[in-house]
Amino acid sequence: MSTSNISRRNFLRAAGLTGTALFVGLYFSSNAEEAKLATADSAMASDIEMNAWIHIDTNGKVTIFSHRAEMGQGAYQSVPQIVAEELEVNLKDINIRFAQGNREKYGNQVTGGSSTIRGSYKNLLKLGASARVMLISAAAAKWSVPTSECYAQSGHVLHRPSGKKFHYGELVEAASKLEAPKDIVLKNRSDYKLIGKPLARLDTPLKTNGVAVFGLDFKLPGMLYAVVERNPRLRGKLKSFDASAALKVPGVKKVFKIQTGVFQTFRDGVAVVADSTWAAIQGRKALTIEWDDTGFDHVNTADIYKKQNELINNEEGLSARKQGDPDSILSAATQKLDVVYETPYQSHSAMEPLNCVAFYQADKLEIWGPIQAPEWVQDYICAQFKLPKEKVIVNMTFLGGGFGRKAFMDYPHEACLISKETGTPVQVVWTREDDMTQGPYRAGITYRCQGAIQDGQISALKFRMAGQNIGHWQGAPKDKPNRSTTEGFLAPYYKSIQHISFSDIPFETPIPNVWWRSVYASTNGFAFESLLNEMAHLAKKDPLDFRRAYLREEREQKLIDKLEEVSGWKSKKNGDGFGVAITECFSTTVGQIVKVSRKADGKIRIDQVWAVVDCGWYVNPDIIHAQVEGSVLMALGAATTHQITFKDGLVEQRNFYNYPMPRINDMPLLEVHIMENDANAGGVGEPGLPPFAPALTAAIFDLTGKRIRKLPFDMSNI
């Protein structure tokens, strides 16, 4: 079960990936942006690190080493679907193995920012095509015929004039001796057989028959189990603890203090180690602990938003972007808006609780678990334990949801600390209460948004945000604005509106905050698009036509046309409320229209949502549909059912009984439409979330005349 940290050459040989197999990979030469190709033999000869690999054995089985995590977003399906297209193999003949964390070898391995496909699809296409060309060349040489007479299909190379064929396994030894081709001609999209098709996901059977290994499934011989009691107040310290009762719980082996890294600070806790998770939890309950909370802010939610409101009303903040002179325009305008929007703190609450296995040994430290950012974990653990990179091995399992939380380093750090203390492999498990009360969270943010109308047109926009900056926790300069201040705002607006400014007003609390699905676009989008809806009303313009006047690029115009067409926007009936929002996130634009009505019981219901997605080049439409559906449901919860609140430095929510998730009957009817074009690929895992809340609140205003500027709100009390 243990993986040795061995040389590249020995790894290839030990894994059986040279000699009688074809092994093709990508690498980046110094300062090069585009990947180059190499075979295993040429890589070893030149001491090249390859960062995306395919391997074909003598049976024709294709193995792909995926450098990104699978947490439900579909990378486990999309990556092989891309490779299989150009390689001309059946998906059933592809096997995927998660690569270990190694920035030098694999480049960016962070599964976040909806970046897996948009950041690698061109290289993956090239990788598959290169292997195919080499196999065709090997077959042509065996037959002594021109390569132009040969073609690949379903894992075989065929000779068109004679009908002769080899399966790939018969060609790999000869192909492995060839140089990787330098010039590759990729297929036209019109010729795709797999890409763009709604193919069934490869991981679905694994996740339904129990074969898929998630973090909680992973086991090592002699492994112990641990939970940690952490100070319930943010930044509190441990004064003392009595473990005598805990050590009497059957199965409890050891109890000791640990300090876990939370960005650049440390969190005190008491680890309870046992022969089962259940025993560890029971031992934790028996602990007697005295915490020291003196000298730390005991934050309250009301105080957070009071301070943020004071800041946006009294400070200009750090300029993130400015064009023209919006202040002068706003000062002189007679028709203008000056409104405040508030968004709440949110927990990630992935269905799979946080967990991690670590085994600290004399010569290495190895980690296994549901990890979104293996190379970040490797970097952090190396620094904390003062170990060289080759001594810290990070292995990914399947993730039961991540949403940014599992790109953080605290829970792997805990597992490593506990394993070092016990001298055994250890699995640390967080309960739902641990996750919900300790964070990190999506930050709650307050926005002051101003806009001016002149002659029915937008003459100026001004946005100020006051909220925690994730970068500050990572050591970013505090005199620089949050780099995500404008996230979610569509670029074409900068061309059509002359006077615009964005500023970030620094705001800090002891509350740890981190990435959450769509990051700052999830909160920015509510403020930006809500203001545009209010501006349209002030100008007495249709909200969709209002946007059309400023989003003049062809792609945005077509997206608006599609929204109007599929929703029946122009044929709205009395008693229906319609709202629209359009946001951009991770190179994908998503427009949504929400329809609401008041039912016989007097309550407002969401009747339908229409989502139009322009993500450019894409792989699998079913995955896009699933990601937008999940994003809409997550956005619905964040807008109407749950939030994290603080009282005297304590988190008030502990589990789903007071952090209620939307139920299946809350999910509205949803149509997802994908725009077809040849633009570069954008992300799809996150961009479906930001437009929902502003579209929903606009629909409620259309129906009731009531503006909602603070989230979350109770749908039953409107």
Instruction: Quote the CA–CA distance of 585 and 592 in Å, as a whole number.
Output: 14
Average pLDDT (481-493) is 97
Instruction: Quote the CA–CA distance of 375 and 108 in Å, as a whole number.
Output: 8
In this predicted structure, the answer to whether residue 208 has a pLDDT above a threshold of 90 is: yes
Residue 618 lies in a domain: yes
Residues 89 and 227 in one domain: no
Number of domains present in the structure of the chain:
3
Instruction: Quote the CA–CA distance of 304 and 485 in Å, as a whole number.
Output: 19
Query: What do you get for the CA distance between the two ends of the chain, in Å?
Result: 57
DSSP string, 632-666: HHHHHHHHHT--B-EETTEES--STTTSPPPPGGG
Strands (E), 154-194: 156-159, 165-167
- When computed from its CA atoms, the radius of gyration of the chain, rounded to whole angstroms, is 27
Range of the domain at 534: 316-345+442-717
Strand-pair category, 392-396 with 457-467: unpaired
In this predicted structure, the answer to whether residue 6 has a pLDDT above a threshold of 60 is: no
CB–CB of 543/536 below 8 Å?
yes
Name the least confident of 52-56, 83-87, 494-498, 507-511: 52-56
CB–CB of 374/104 below 8 Å?
no
Residue 309 lies in a domain: no
Residues 141 and 42 in one domain: yes
* Residues composing the chain: 718
Residues 336 and 381 in one domain: no
108 or 424, which is more confident? Answer: 424
Instruction: Quote the CA–CA distance of 250 and 280 in Å, as a whole number.
Output: 9
Nearest CA-CA partner of 53 in 70, 68, 66, 34: 66
Residues 145 and 252 in one domain: no
Q: For residue 290, what is the enclosing H or E element? A: strand 288-292
Residues 544 and 598 in one domain: yes
- Which token pair is 296? 């730390």
DSSP string, 133-156: HHHHHHHHHHHT--GGGEEEETTE
Please give the pLDDT value at position 684.
Answer: 97
- Cβ count within 10 A of residue 75: 23
Q: What angle do CA 610, 612, 617 make, to 5 degrees?
A: 150
Average pLDDT (570-596) is 96
Residues 410 and 511 in one domain: no
In this predicted structure, the answer to whether residue 138 has a pLDDT above a threshold of 80 is: yes
Q: For residue 13, what is the enclosing H or E element? A: helix 8-14
Please give the pLDDT value at position 92.
Answer: 87
Average pLDDT (165-188) is 90
Residue 3 lies in a domain: no
Residues 132 and 205 in one domain: yes
In this predicted structure, the answer to whether residue 27 has a pLDDT above a threshold of 80 is: no
Residue 413 lies in a domain: yes
- Per residue in 516-563, pLDDT (tens digit) is 999 999 999 999 999 999 999 999 999 999 999 999 999 999 999 999
- Cβ count within 10 A of residue 93: 17
Please give the pLDDT value at position 20.
Answer: 61
Instruction: Quote the CA–CA distance of 496 and 461 in Å, as a whole number.
Output: 12
Q: Inter-axis angle of helices 521-538 and 621-640, to 10 degrees?
A: 80
| Sequence-separated (6 or more) residues with CB below 8 Å from residue 288 | 241, 242, 245
Nearest CA-CA partner of 561 in 630, 610, 594, 623: 610
Q: Inter-axis angle of helices 692-704 and 621-640, to 10 degrees?
A: 60
CA 264 to chain centre: 23
CB–CB of 353/431 below 8 Å?
yes
Instruction: Quote the CA–CA distance of 311 and 467 in Å, as a whole number.
Output: 10
Instruction: Quote the CA–CA distance of 660 and 637 in Å, as a whole number.
Output: 8
Nearest CA-CA partner of 344 in 47, 710, 716, 715: 710
Instruction: Quote the CA–CA distance of 68 and 70 in Å, as a whole number.
Output: 7
Last residue of a domain, one of 164, 193, 209: 209
Average pLDDT (674-698) is 97
In this predicted structure, the answer to whether residue 28 has a pLDDT above a threshold of 60 is: no
- Per residue in 287-329, pLDDT (tens digit) is 999 999 887 788 999 999 999 999 999 999 999 999 999 999 9
Residues 595 and 508 in one domain: yes
CB–CB of 690/522 below 8 Å?
yes
Average pLDDT (601-627) is 97
Last residue of a domain, one of 209, 238, 271: 209
* Whole-Å CA distances, 322 to 453, 492, 498: 18, 15, 10
Residues 454 and 567 in one domain: yes
Q: Looking at this protein, which amino acid is placed at residue 460? A: A
381 — pLDDT class (breaks 50, 70, 90): very high
Residue 300 lies in a domain: no
Please give the pLDDT value at position 109.
Answer: 87
Instruction: Quote the CA–CA distance of 453 and 442 in Å, as a whole number.
Output: 33
- What CATH code is carried by the domain that includes residue 618? 3.30.365.10
What percent of the chain clears pLDDT 90, i.e. is strictly above it?
Answer: 82
Residue 434 lies in a domain: no
714, with CB counted inside 10 A (0-12, 13-18, 19+), is exposed
Residues 420 and 506 in one domain: no
Last residue of a domain, one of 209, 227, 253: 209
Residue 308 lies in a domain: no
**3-state secondary structure (DSSP) of residue 345:** strand
Residues 227 and 376 in one domain: yes
Instruction: Quote the CA–CA distance of 692 and 595 in Å, as a whole number.
Output: 11
Average pLDDT (449-454) is 98
397, with CB counted inside 10 A (0-12, 13-18, 19+), is buried
The C-alpha torsion from 627 through 633 and 634 to 637, rounded to 10°, is 180
Average pLDDT, the chain: 92
How many Cα neighbours within 13 Å face the side chain of 109?
30
Q: For residue 672, what is the enclosing H or E element? A: strand 669-674
- Which token pair is 358? 């670590």
Residues 591 and 501 in one domain: yes
Please give the pLDDT value at position 635.
Answer: 98
Instruction: Quote the CA–CA distance of 412 and 354 in Å, as a whole number.
Output: 9
CB–CB of 117/81 below 8 Å?
no
Instruction: Quote the CA–CA distance of 528 and 343 in Å, as a whole number.
Output: 12
Please give the pLDDT value at position 46.
Answer: 41
> Residues 234-261, buried b or exposed e (16+ Cβ, 10 A)?
bbbbbeebebeebeebebbbbbeebebb
Please give the pLDDT value at position 25.
Answer: 67
Instruction: Quote the CA–CA distance of 20 and 173 in Å, as a whole number.
Output: 5
In this predicted structure, the answer to whether residue 31 has a pLDDT above a threshold of 70 is: no
CB–CB of 562/612 below 8 Å?
yes
Nearest CA-CA partner of 708 in 696, 694, 697, 699: 697
441, with CB counted inside 10 A (0-12, 13-18, 19+), is buried
165 or 101, which is more confident? Answer: 165
DSSP string, 382-417: HHHHT--GGGEEEEE-B-S--TTGGG-SHHHHHHHH
Average pLDDT (72-101) is 92
Residue 2 lies in a domain: no
**3-state secondary structure (DSSP) of residue 330:** helix
- Cβ count within 10 A of residue 217: 12
Average pLDDT (162-180) is 92
Average pLDDT (405-433) is 98
Q: Looking at this protein, which amino acid is placed at residue 614? A: D
385, with CB counted inside 10 A (0-12, 13-18, 19+), is middle
Instruction: Quote the CA–CA distance of 480 and 246 in Å, as a whole number.
Output: 48
In this predicted structure, the answer to whether residue 392 has a pLDDT above a threshold of 90 is: yes
Please give the pLDDT value at position 24.
Answer: 76
In this predicted structure, the answer to whether residue 434 has a pLDDT above a threshold of 60 is: yes
- Which token pair is 425? 């492999």
348 or 104, which is more confident? Answer: 348
Please give the pLDDT value at position 633.
Answer: 97
Average pLDDT (585-605) is 96
CB–CB of 95/87 below 8 Å?
no
Please give the pLDDT value at position 34.
Answer: 52
Alpha helices, DSSP H, located in 552-709: 554-567, 621-640, 692-704
Instruction: Quote the CA–CA distance of 212 and 442 in Å, as a whole number.
Output: 29
Where do we find the tokens 């589990």? 655
